[in-house]
Structure 1
Amino acid sequence: MTDTLTRSSTEEITPRDVKIASWICFFAWTSAVYDFVLFGNLLPELAADLGWSEPQSTQINTWVTLGTALVAFSIGPIADRMGRRKGILIAVTGAAMASLLTATVGWVSGIAAGLGIVFLVLVRSLAGLGYAEQAINAAYLNEMYATQADDPVRARRRGLIYSLVQSGWPVGSVLAAGSVYLLMPIGGWQLCFVVAALPVVFILWAGRYLKESPQFSGQSQDETGSTSLVDVFRGESLRATVFIGLPFMLTWFGVLAFSILGTSFLTSGKNISFDSALTVLVISNATAFVGYLFHGWLGDRIGRRNTIGLAWIACSVCFTAMLFAPDGNFPLIVALYSAGLFFLIGPFSALLFFTGESFPVETRATGAALVNAMGQVGAIFAGILVTGILAAGQGWITAGMIAGCLPILLAGLLVFGARNVSPETVRAD
């Protein structure tokens, strides 16, 4: 009976449906990233406006990161029970609500400062639904692209096409930075968050044209309703959870050390001026975009697991070379820093698609959400580690090596423990 349902559902999916799904997922992810990155960009403004000290601001961000991880995971079981389409719409709506409610933090803090902090942590934790968008996209599009397996050209380009969807991260990051520049003088940080919620209107309207993935539609209610956290630690799912989830967490050590704290690292660690550090970050965003496309393309040829592992090993080498490059040598540091980010950020487009290939349909969204949430867990541990190293009197070079290069290298080696999936293989279950 299940085979019949799956087959009939697959026949309903056309190339046009897949194209529409890809575009909607791209815009949904871009919108979610826009809100997610906006908070980080505006946190100093919120802190200054609401009278928070720097330690308070850092502590609040840590609690927000923890809340984001918990909420980001919760959407996975929902998508495995209710469907990928509903999961996408819930994620986007949650990100929009978080944006609107963030704009009211100042008013809540006016009633009671402590209440304002608690409110902000809860609201920004809700934004974890937006962060989870990429995990649901990975599960959904992996299943949608599988319906085109009879077309050799489309089958060979699945990773590249998905990398275009995943490139919503640098696009959303640039839009967030641009909105701060344009909207802050008009209505302050509050207006920035209000505008961040507007794209959800288009996404919800466009969501009417999303078709549910045939693999999910073909599952019986008993199968889809039984998914739990325990299931991702059983059978086939266990190997994927360990050898994709742990590397994902470890690479976020590097993301925090070299990307999120990039300006601090470049200015304090390599004696690059702040203005020049901002220029480097602009270059790195462009590098990340190209990296998504390259690793998506390469994964279609040599396999996504091999692409991810080799890239992160190369990333560790590039960042290690940068750490020992002469301080203040702008051209050399820019070249090595950009190369490091190219091999650090780019493989995520292959990794998320590989996650969808590695979990069976019953745990695909739950497994992808768990792996995705591990990134935020890694960011928390990395923040604690970096803070401890700097507090002990060590410099950014030591912090970059211990909290950045070594975890990235270990991630690149660990991912080879995952099951290799031939790029020519299209998983139909």
Structure 2
Amino acid sequence: MSFTSTPNIWKPNTITPKDARFATVLAFLAWTFAVYDFVLFGTMLPVMAKDFGWAPATSTAINTWVSVGTFIVAILLGLVADRIGRKRGMMLTIGGTALASLATALTFNPLYLIGVRSIAGLGYSEQAINATYLNEIYDVTDDKFIKRNRGFIYSIVQGGWPIGVLLSAALAAIFLPSIGWRGSFLVATFPAILLLVMRMRMKESPQFQVQQRISALVKQGEMEQAKELAATFKVTVEHARAPLADIFAPGKRRNTIFLSLAFFLNWFGILTFSILGTTLLTQGKHVTFSNALIILILSNIVAFGGYVFHGWLGDRFSRRNVIAVAWILGGVSFAVMTLLAQGAVMVVLFMSIGLFFQIGAYSALLYFMADSFETKSRATGTTFVNSLGQIGAVVGGIIITSMLTAGTDITVAAFVVGALGTVASGLFIMGCRKDVPNVTRAEDVAIEAVLSSK
């Protein structure tokens, strides 16, 4: 890890406009291919089950245990990233995507598949690590445009989700007939490896470097120097506390709990209308399968517009409030779609409006999450909250399955779990601390002052 220094004062990295833009492009591409791998697994699981002769119950069990494994790996990544740094954490996420894709192509039984797809939890955490790193470098970059519009710029990165979904659907249709599901996963490996190599050129975030430098001085017994450096950079020298314990420390606990509950409940809606969207449309709204695919493609295009809109809006108003209003509006739209909308036009309209607000708000959400935690536990906090989405999907799936087994119509189940879950997530996010958008943190002002000094 490199540091800039002078004879008089230690200095962390300077983030030039070129550094910020390079990191932004890589983050977008890495998230796109992480989503591609993540969605490809769901697309190919029925094909794999047919090849191996797995019963539907086996496929369901695999998917459930993969979600649990993803949750565990995602939490572990956050703990690691707050110790080894953002740059290495981001190399782990894209490296995990490459490894998961390669290993999935070699699948030979269900237990093996559960193990290797759990590794994909690294790729799923790409968005959380991206948010952590970009939140920090955007705060101290010399690029004035990015600094003024940091939420908007980040929203383009987060827009890798719908693009990754569409890329997965398109390439699966192209490659599956010719090279099969194994070849499709192998194809996903090569871009991820290239991005891993390119990420070696990125700079570590100055905020992490400051924390690392202070920790090193404390370990060496240089307490006075550590305190002087901490005072210079407007941070505190505290007794060591595990990052996971730190996000639940007094004064932080309430924010973490409400943020976690909101994220958990919102995945009820993602499961219902994104992951199970085709099933809902064909079985519940009697849309043909081909039309259902067209609707999902259009909805993902609309969702990209939602990302950009909410990112832009979050630069001007409290991100907490933007997220809350968006999720409540999204939930109401889903409620209308499930209970009232009839005909393809109305179903498309309200499905698209719902995804525009629900999925689109994630650009503001991830940046808000990174703003909600201190540097020493920011990666742990964002990945912990992000990982709860997988648990939300599992719990939501259990509730939907139970309702369907009891004879409930799928549209009613979608309303109860998906629509109401999305509205509830919007209400819970209001329990978090209200933020003021794009206010540079005191420690980041101090970093800028030190870097600008002669």
TM-score w.r.t. the length of structure 1 is 0.93
Structure 2 residue 168 is the aligned partner of structure 1 residue 165: no
Does the alignment pair 1:246 with 2:246? Answer: no
1:408-427 pair list within 5 angstroms: 408-427=422-441
How much does 1:178 deviate?
Answer: 1.6
Cα 1:150–1:292, aligned 2, differ >3 Å: closer, same or farther? closer
Distance 2:43 2:434 in 1: 38
Q: Distance in 2 between matches of 1:168 and 1:6?
A: 40
C-alpha deviation, 1:135, in angstroms: 0.6
RMSD, matched Cα: 1.9
Matches within 5 A, 1:23-422: 23-105=25-107, 108=108, 116-148=109-141, 151=144, 153-219=145-211, 220-221=214-215, 226-327=241-342, 329-422=343-436
2:98 and 2:193 in contact (8 A); partners too: no
SS at match of 1:233: coil
- Give 1:13's aligned amino acid: I
Contact 2:150-2:438 at 8 Å conserved across structures: no
User: Closer, same or farther in 2 for the Cα pair 1:428/1:13, shift >3 Å?
Assistant: farther
Q: Distance in 2 between matches of 1:299 and 1:416?
A: 15
Distance 1:271 1:260 in 2: 18
Query: Closer, same or farther in 2 for the Cα pair 1:252/1:7, shift >3 Å?
Result: farther
Rounded to whole Å, the distance in 2 between the matches of 1:302 and 1:78 is: 33
Equivalent pair of 1:26/1:165 in contact (CA under 8 Å): yes
Q: Which has the larger radius of gyration?
A: 2
For structure 2, which runs of at least 5 residues remain unmatched after alignment?
Answer: 1-5, 219-237, 444-454
Query: How far apart in 2 are the matches of 1:35 and 1:195?
Result: 10
CA contact (8 A) 1:233 1:241 kept: yes
List alignment gaps of at least 5 residues for structure 1: 109-115
Tell me if the contact between 1:143 and 1:428 (Cα under 8 Å) persists in the aligned partners: no
What is the aligned residue count?
Answer: 414
Are the structure 2 counterparts of residues 310 and 353 from structure 1 closer, same or farther at C-alpha, using a change threshold of 3 Å?
Answer: same
Identity %: 47
- Following the alignment from structure 2 to structure 1, what is the Cα–Cα distance between the partners of residues 366 and 346? 31
Answer whether contact 1:80 1:365 (CA < 8 A) is retained.
yes
Higher normalized helix content (fraction of residues): 1
Quote the Cα distance in structure 2 between the aligned partners of 1:150 and 1:68. Answer: 36
**Secondary structure of 1:209's partner?**
coil
Contact 2:151 2:315 in 1 (8 A): yes
Q: CA deviation at 1:307?
A: 0.6
1:349-403 CA-to-partner distances (Å, cap 9, x unmatched) read 1100000111011110000000100100100000000000100000112201211
Shift of 1:428: 4.9
Deviating beyond 3 angstroms after TM superposition, the runs of 4 or more aligned structure 1 residues are: 4-7, 148-151, 222-228
Whole-Å separation in 1 of the counterparts to 2:183 and 2:364: 35
Q: What residue number does 2:17 align with?
A: 15
Distance 1:208 1:376, change over 3 A: same
Residues 28 and 326 of structure 1: CA distance in aligned 2, closer, same or farther (over 3 Å): closer
Find the residue that maps to 2:315 and give its secondary structure: helix
Distance in 1, matches of 2:28 and 2:264, equals 24
